[in-house]
Structure 1
Amino acid sequence: MRAFQLTSASIDSLTASELPTPKPGPGDVLIRLRAASLNFLDVAVARGDFGPDHFPRIPVADGAGEIAGLGDGVEGWAVGDRVAPALMARWLAGPIQPSSHDAVRGVTVPGSLAQYTVAPASSLVRIPDGLTWEEAATLPVAATTAWNGLVRGHVRPGSTVALLGTGGVSLFALQLAKAAGARVIITSSSDDKLERARKLGADEVINYTTTPAWDERVLELTQGRGADLVIESVGAATFPRSMNAVAFAGTIFVIGFVGGAELTIPVLPIQLKTISILGNNTGSVSDFAAAVRAIEMAGIKPVIDKVFAFDDAKAAFHYLADAGHVGKVVIRID
Structure 2
Amino acid sequence: MKAIALCNQPGIDNLTVVDRPMPQPRRQEVVIRVSATSLNYRDVEIVRGTYHTTFPLPLIPLSDGVGEVVAIGDGVTRVKVGDRVCSTFWQRWIGGSFDMAEPSYQLGGPVDGLLAEYALLDEQATVPAPAHLSDVEAATLPCAAVTAWHALVTEGALKPGETVLVLGTGGVSVFALQFARCAGARVLVTSSSDEKIQRAKALGAHAGVNYRDHPDWAAEILKLTDGRGVDHVLEVGGPESFAQSLRAVRRGGQINVIGYLGGTEGVINPLDIFRRQVRVRGIPVGSRASFEAMNRAIAVNQLRPVIHRTYEWTDVGHALRDLESGAHFGKLVLRH
TM-score bracket for this pair, using the shorter chain length: over 0.9
| SS of corresponding position for 2:246 | helix
* Aligned CA distance change for structure 1 residues 15 and 164 (closer, same or farther; 3 Å): same
Q: Which residue, 236, 240, 245 being the options, matches 2:239?
A: 236
Q: Which amino acid aligns with 1:172?
A: F
Once the two structures are superposed, residues 47-67 of structure 1 have per-residue CA deviations (whole angstroms, 9 ceiling, x without a partner) of 222233321110001010110
In the superposition, the TM-score normalised over structure 2's length comes to 0.97
Report how far residue 153 of structure 1 moved: 2.4
Spell out, residue by residue over 1:235-288, the C-alpha distance to the aligned partner (whole angstroms, 9 max, x if none). 122111001001100001000012112442112221111000101110111111
The aligned residue for residue 142 of structure 1 is 144
Counterparts of 1:111 and 1:82 in 2: how far apart (Å)? 17
Q: Does the CA contact (< 8 Å) of 1:164 and 1:234 recur in 2? A: yes
Amino acid at match of 1:222: T
Q: How does 1:190-201 map to 2 (within 5 A)?
A: 190-201=193-204
**Amino acid in structure 1 at the alignment position of 2:295:** V
Compute the RMSD of aligned alpha carbons.
Answer: 1.1
Q: Distance in 2 between matches of 1:279 and 1:111?
A: 23
Aligned to 2:5: 5
1:319 — aligned with what? 322
Supply the AA of the counterpart residue of 1:199: A
Question: In the TM superposition, what are the counterparts of 1:175-324 in structure 2 within 5 Å?
Answer: 175-324=178-327
Task: Tell me by how many angstroms 1:172 deviates.
Answer: 0.5
Contact 1:161-1:227 within 8 A present in 2 as well: yes
Cα deviation per residue 1:274-321 (whole Å; 9 max; x = unaligned)?
Answer: 000101110111111111111111111000000011221111111111
Residue aligning to 1:23: 24
Aligned residue runs from structure 1 range 52-63, under 5 A? 52-63=54-65
Range that drifts further, 9-18 or 61-70: 9-18
Aligned to 2:35: 34
2:97 aligns with: 95
Assess if the C-alpha contact under 8 Å between 1:227 and 1:245 holds in 2: yes
- Distance, in Å, in 2 between the alignment partners of 1:210 and 1:285 is 40
Deviations 1:195-239 (A, max 9, x none): 111110000111111111111111000000001001001112211
Q: Distance in 2 between matches of 1:253 and 1:27?
A: 34
Query: Equivalents in 1 of 2:144, 2:38: separation in Å?
Result: 10
Secondary structure of the 1:5 match is strand
Summarize deviations over 1:146-177 as a string: whole Å, max 9, x none.
00111222321110000000001111000100
Secondary structure at 1:97 match in 2: helix
Q: Secondary structure at the match of 1:46?
A: helix
Q: Using the alignment, how far apart are the partners of 1:284 and 1:153 within structure 2?
A: 15
Whether the 8 Å CA contact 1:190–1:207 is kept in 2: the answer is: yes
Q: Are residues 1:69 and 2:71 paired?
A: yes
Q: Distance in 1 between matches of 2:322 and 2:12?
A: 11
Please give the alpha-carbon distance, in whole angstroms, between the structure 1 residues aligned to 2:122 and 2:257: 29
The answer to whether the Cα contact below 8 Å between 2:63 and 2:108 also exists between their aligned partners in 1 is: yes
Contact 1:153 1:250 survives alignment (8 Å)? no
Distance (Å, rounded) in 2 between the aligned partners of 1:188 and 1:41: 21
2:48 aligned residue: 47
**Is the 1:153–1:228 contact (alpha carbons within 8 Å) kept by the matching residues of 2?**
no
Counterpart code for 2:75: G
Contact preservation (8 Å) 2:78, 2:124:
no
| Matching residue's letter, 2:79 | W
* TM-score, normalisation: structure 1: 0.97
Partners of 2:55 and 2:109 within 8 A in 1: no
* Percent identity for Structure 1 against Structure 2: 43
Instruction: Verify the 8 A CA contact 1:90 1:102 in the aligned structure 2.
Output: no
Give the superposition deviation at 1:98.
7.2
Give distance in 1, aligned partners of 2:14 and 2:252. Answer: 46
Q: Secondary structure at the match of 2:240?
A: coil
| Unpaired runs of at least 5, structure 1 | none
Partner secondary structure for residue 297 of structure 2: helix
Which secondary structure state, in structure 2, belongs to the residue aligned with residue 293 of structure 1?
helix
Gaps of 5+ in 2: none
CA 1:132–1:108 in structure 2 vs 1: closer, same or farther (change >3 Å)? same
